[in-house]
Amino acid sequence: MARYWQTAAFAISFLNGIVWSAAGEPNDKGPLPQLGQFAIKGLDTRHNKIDQIISRYGFICLKISKLQRPYIIEDKLVAYLKTLPPSHSEIERELTAFGAVCENKGFRLDCAYERQVEKSVGFAGSPEPETIIDEFFRIDFSIVKNVDSLDYAAKFDRKQKVKWRRGWPKGT
């Protein structure tokens, strides 16, 4: 049910932005331009499995309330952890190879993964973006040894900051 509300909130916020941009000025020159240019800098989706998951699921996770946990990305990250060999040392080796910082506490492995990404959003055919947003992602992984198994958890957090918008002076 939480996934339904996440998807609905994303669709509403996306459409709301289109409606407000359409209502902002009368358009005598034909149809409104189509949103369509998205550029993302800062993710290595070819070589980094965590970045692949962020690219696919991280941008659609909207934080409306704490009641929505787990985000779909958290489920996908836990599923990824379960594909790794069931050993703290192997999991730590894999996650640190992708840039995570890990602390092995014997029965518990905690890892933190942070990524800053620049997202440009614009209209198709426009020479410059309408908005540039800095996205900050943090994932806290926790793997706990039980008697005969491992318990996996991933907590996802995302923050956004508008870096630049059309009409703002460059360099602010």
Give the Cα separation of 117 and 54 in Å (integer).
Answer: 10
pTM of the model: 0.74
Q: Are 67 and 6 in contact (CB under 8 A)?
A: no
How many domains does the chain contain in total? Answer: 1
- pLDDT at 93 exceeding the cut of 70: yes
Rounded to the nearest 10°, the torsion over CA 158, 159, 164, 167 is: 110
C-alpha angle 114/116/117, rounded to 5°?
A: 135
Range of the domain at 101: 2-15+35-165
Q: Does any domain span residue 30?
A: no
For residue 129, is it within any domain? Answer: yes
Interval 44-67: pLDDT, tens: 999 999 999 999 998 887 655 556
